[in-house]
Structure 1
Amino acid sequence: MTDKATAPSVLRNTAFLRLWTGTTASGLAMWALPFVLGLAVLERSITAVELGVVLATRTVGFLVAVPVAGVLADRHSRRRVVFWSCLTGAVMTPVIALGMGRSLLLMAVAAAVVGAGQGGCRPAFQALVAEVVPEPQRQQANAATTLAIRVTTLVAPSLTALAALVTDAKVLLVVTAVLWLVAALVPPKGGDAPARTTGRTSFAADFLDGLHEARRHPWLLAGLGALTSMVALGYSATAVLLPVVSRDRYGTEAVLAAATTAYTIGALAGAALMARWRPRTPGWTALAGMACYGLVPLALLLPVHPFVLIAAYVVGGIGMELFNVPWFTAVQREVEPGKLARVSSLDFLLSFGLAPVGLAFMAPAVDEFGSGVVLGACAVVCFAAPAAAALVPSSKGFTRSS
């Protein structure tokens, strides 16, 4: 049996709607950039090598900025950190357009700064939810935010392709800059601000203080370890091998497109479910949802019908939102408010930061051991890591008292 939400709809909260709009705009800008640059390659404005360099420097900027932003957002106004981070993206995105066909160095530096803006706003956005949304409404708020993110990933490529029919990549980069400007200006001021750090200690000391706060919550460390393992290995293996399986086993790229779309649709369904559902054991439910992603590498490993593979992606998408929404809600509830941005930055740093490492490792691993061994091992990790995390007593409810 489960309990349904009894709190008023978070959609009546004007401050949250402004925050949701800003978060959505920043997400759309973030996801649109790779597609816009891909169109620039098709237009021959940049080369494929230049595309790779620009995207790589953007990722480096993101990873460098995330821990710094976590400290800043706990030292200062989270709203101010969002403003300056998103304004940085708005100002520097057109510089990428300016460098097209002129200077790869200029493009790379601008992309790194844009990535820093992206990394800078993530922990602050996450902490702002706890400031503007009452605790009973936060699961709804996190579900609404993840719905927006999933819709963005679904429509951003299509919108970019349609816009490319009437304009070029440089103009689309300016449009992306406008989205960053919306993200900078629209979010509300925070509510009752938590006690801030004094700012008299070093960044390293403040970040280590955030690590100490994370260690106070065994469920958080266990869940973060499971999430990092699943993203670095499970996501990476399926991202690398889905195109290969689609081509070699099924002889069509349609399976690739259908599977990736199915995952997003499943995630949308999972987020919609979590907007209303309150499981009695949220931690175990979330970890079981994460384990569902293990069906994806398993389906890629076995000679199943393409519909079975697509169904596995749907279930994997549902499962990941069964994890994400309770996870973010628990972090906002359990972590000391004045250290929330730093703990959130640790979350983003590990889950996003190790993903490129996993991707870089996958191709050599497939060459050395074969795709079957790699997929089998990653499926085991996707099932075993959440199961191991569930053995931590406080993981049952994602709370120290569970």
Structure 2
Amino acid sequence: MLRERRFIRLWCGTTASGLATWALPFVLGLAVLDRTLTAAGLGIVLATRTVGFLVAVPISGVLADRYSRRAVVLWAGLAAALATPFIVLGLGRSVLLMAVAAAVVGAGQGACRPAFQALTAEVVDGERRQQANAAMTLAVRVTTLVAPAGTALLAAVLDAWWLLVGTGLLWAVAALLPPRGLPGPERAAERARFFREFGEGVREARRHPWFLAGLGALAAVIFTGYSATGVALPLVSRDRYGTEAVLAAALTAYTLGALAGAVLVARWKPRAKGWAALTGLALYGFAPLSLLLPVHPAVVFAAYALAGLGIEVFNVPWFTATQREVEPRLLARVSSLDFLVSYGLAPVGLAFLAPAIDAFGWEPVLAVCALVCFLAPAVAAAVPSSRDFSRGGRS
């Protein structure tokens, strides 16, 4: 499967989009260091990119089900590629221009996600999708390591302008490289309105109790556990251990754990796939728990590695089950719900957690976060169809 030309093209296109996505914040961070961009300007640009992402995800879900998934990837990637030079033009001159261009780049990123998810189901047959999804998520995790390191190395010989141009070229690759999908389901001759079509996706999601339960558990973990990583980990690293090295090492351990999880789940097929996936999701609770207790830094690293492993043990079966169980003509719309909830709650959780820590201290807040991370997947597992992530009881 990994040697098939069509899948290699899809994998490379997805990887290019991941590299461009992860590299942009680091390039802009370098611009802050050389005083070409202010810290406030950086926050505005990244915030507008997130807004563009969240707006585009549901729209893309409808368009990718209405038209060709390959065409949506093409136009979304080209939009991000063509908008990137305007970030370059605005650097040091106009934060407003950078923010508008970043919103378009974020929209391109958001539009690609459900389209890539649905395109994977068209390019890869059902028996090999778990391996394909593991390879996709492996690419995402590798980019989280390669993009920052590669950006730092290139920064020694190139300035921020050229690095930004490089992210635009990566988006062009992401747009042009993926293959055409297999013939999709027949589309209706008359096009319904956007909200009606998106509503079809919502109704399809509601037909699958395991999907709603799993999405609720994922949302709870992201709102609490992910936010604890974003807000509490830097504070604990500084105030308890007196060094930022704990922050860097914990995040690296998380990524390495996720890589190990992707490799594991590429071959591992437990009998109760859903329960195994939800157990993996619950492992994220060890991350805030390790920050709560006065433990050696090595325990924190191990907890974050376990959380990273667990999130991929959840992600790969989750994506595979969605591709298997959801009606093909509605797959992009249902996938867009997944990305909208998971990515949309991340900034909301960050916004709530910081004031909560200021008001109550990090100990009670982290205790609640850990408890939610452990309990939410357990509640989801109580839904009967969650055992196999299958409404019809298929494994």
Q: TM-score range by the shorter chain?
A: over 0.9
C-alpha distance in 2 between matches for 1:40 and 1:26 = 21
Query: Aligned pair 1:222/2:216, yes or no?
Result: no
C-alpha distance in 2 between matches for 1:199 and 1:319 = 44
For 1:13, the equivalent position in structure 2 comes to 4
SS at match of 2:109: helix
C-alpha distance in 2 between matches for 1:393 and 1:118 = 35
C-alpha distance in 2 between matches for 1:300 and 1:158 = 26
1:147/1:268 contact within 8 Å kept: yes
Unaligned residue ranges in structure 2 (runs of 5+): none
One-letter identity of the residue aligned with 1:344: S
Query: Aligned pair 1:166/2:157, yes or no?
Result: yes
For 2:386, the equivalent position in structure 1 comes to 395
1:197/1:338 contact within 8 Å kept: no
**1:14-93 to 2 correspondence within 5 Å?**
14-93=5-84
State the shift of 1:200 in Å.
Answer: 1.9
1:67/1:349 contact within 8 Å kept: yes
State the shift of 1:100 in Å.
Answer: 1.1
Query: Aligned pair 1:325/2:316, yes or no?
Result: yes
- Superposed CA deviations along residues 164-215 of structure 1, whole A, max 9, x for unmatched, are 0001101001111110000011000011212335452110010011000000
Instruction: Give the alignment's TM-score, normalised by structure 1.
Output: 0.97
SS at match of 1:278: coil
For 2:336, the equivalent position in structure 1 comes to 345
One-letter identity of the residue aligned with 1:130: A
For 1:126, the equivalent position in structure 2 comes to 117
C-alpha distance in 1 between matches for 2:188 and 2:177 = 26
102 and 199 in structure 1: CA distance in 2 versus 1, 3 angstrom threshold: farther
For 2:227, the equivalent position in structure 1 comes to 236
CA RMSD of aligned residues (A): 0.8
C-alpha distance in 1 between matches for 2:178 and 2:310 = 30
C-alpha distance in 2 between matches for 1:198 and 1:20 = 32
C-alpha distance in 2 between matches for 1:221 and 1:237 = 24
State the shift of 1:305 in Å.
Answer: 1.0
SS at match of 2:2: helix
For 2:198, the equivalent position in structure 1 comes to 207
Query: Aligned pair 1:97/2:88, yes or no?
Result: yes
SS at match of 1:275: helix
Q: 1:193 aligns with which of 184, 188, 210?
A: 184
**1:130-141 to 2 correspondence within 5 Å?**
130-141=121-132
C-alpha distance in 1 between matches for 2:339 and 2:189 = 24
Q: 1:151 aligns with which of 122, 125, 142?
A: 142
State the shift of 1:251 in Å.
Answer: 1.4
Query: Aligned pair 1:142/2:142, yes or no?
Result: no
State the shift of 1:369 in Å.
Answer: 1.4
Query: Aligned pair 1:373/2:369, yes or no?
Result: no
199 and 226 in structure 1: CA distance in 2 versus 1, 3 angstrom threshold: farther
C-alpha distance in 2 between matches for 1:153 and 1:196 = 37
C-alpha distance in 2 between matches for 1:196 and 1:102 = 46
Query: Aligned pair 1:293/2:260, yes or no?
Result: no
Query: Aligned pair 1:278/2:275, yes or no?
Result: no
Instruction: Give the alignment's TM-score, normalised by structure 2.
Output: 0.98
SS at match of 1:194: coil
One-letter identity of the residue aligned with 1:77: S
Q: Which runs of 4+ in 1 moved over 3 A?
A: none
C-alpha distance in 1 between matches for 2:389 and 2:303 = 27
Unaligned residue ranges in structure 1 (runs of 5+): 1-9
C-alpha distance in 2 between matches for 1:150 and 1:248 = 29
Identity %: 69
One-letter identity of the residue aligned with 1:184: A
